[in-house]
Amino acid sequence: MIKLVKNRKEKGKELSKFFCQTVADLMDHDDKLVFLDADLASPSGSTIIEKSHPDKFINVGIAEANMVGIAAGLSIEGFKPFIHSFAPFASRRVFDQIYLSGAYAKSTINIYGSDPGFTVGPNGGTHTSFEDVALYRTIPDAVIVDVADTTQLESAIRQAASEPGIKYIRLNRKAVRNVYEPGSEFTFGKGVVVKEGKDVLVITAGQILSDALDAAEELEAKGVSVEVVDIYTTKPLDVELILSRVKGKKALVTFENHSIIGGLGSAVAEVLAEHNVNIVFKRHGVTDRFGQVGTPDFLQAEYNLTGKDLVKTIEALL
């Protein structure tokens, strides 16, 4: 069962440490789990694993492509590796290795891509990923998870550890606002109707789910009923849920911390086109731009990814 928290202003635990602590806990009961990091143990929180399970932790250095190759080899030997680097280096830098040594070879690799989109903060344009989802969408059978909070993250890690294949989990390293009550369970390929509404459908995922709910509440006060769907996995996409919830709506907006090219907005647009759905539609995301230096709050505003920005988009459509 999935339940929402009563107070969405509260933040949960730091996501990076929570991620690694969850993996460490699973290692206590599964000797096939291993964790590889690209010289980022402190930023990723994987020092937790290095200390608690030193025989299951490998620091490969700043050699992300090599890290994927090692993980693929471990998978062939029956291990279930988790690997970490910042999102651009866990996606575009290692794309060929993930595609061939990972997916094509039927390896199991669980990829933790940290600080996607505006969450990268002062690390700047070279460390910004507005394209990671687009890349992983092209890899056959890959799973793409955009995590909203700690509860959803724990569910994603547990499912990833129990299933074969390539799984890409993108998330902020820092603490984010809670959306779901602890104990809520999620399934790859199944979205969640977080808030029902009759006028506009907003499809979103990840950290900015909270911002979408902020926007929905503001619009409700103005007489506009907004439904919010957390699509959770961009791949596999919950096509059935999208088609069922779009019925009767005046407009549909996708809202993502990613480029509008190739990400969630593109995936939803493909569904609408292939099923001949006629509706006013807008992709709200990053518009063909590179990253830059700034605080996460500054960058979120710079790329028009706040709840206020979403309100403006919906009002313009209506």
Asked, as a colleague might, if the bond just before 296 is cis with ω within 30 of 0, I would say: no
102 in Cβ contact with 72 (< 8 Å) = yes
What is the Cα–Cα distance from 270 to 276, expressed in whole angstroms? Answer: 10
In the set 50, 64, 154, 227, the catalytic residue is 64
| 10 φ/ψ sector (left φ>0, alpha ψ -120 to 50, else beta) | beta
Q: Any bridge partners for residue 81, and if so which?
A: 34
The half-sphere exposure of 287 on its side-chain side, counting CA atoms within 13 A, is: 7
Is 64 catalytic? The answer is yes
- Name the token pair of 195: 């808030």
What is the Cα–Cα distance from 288 to 243, expressed in whole angstroms? Answer: 28
- Name the token pair of 261: 């090219």
> For 18-29, b where at least 16 C-beta lie within 10 A, e where not — what string?
bbbbbbbebbee
What are the catalytic residues?
64
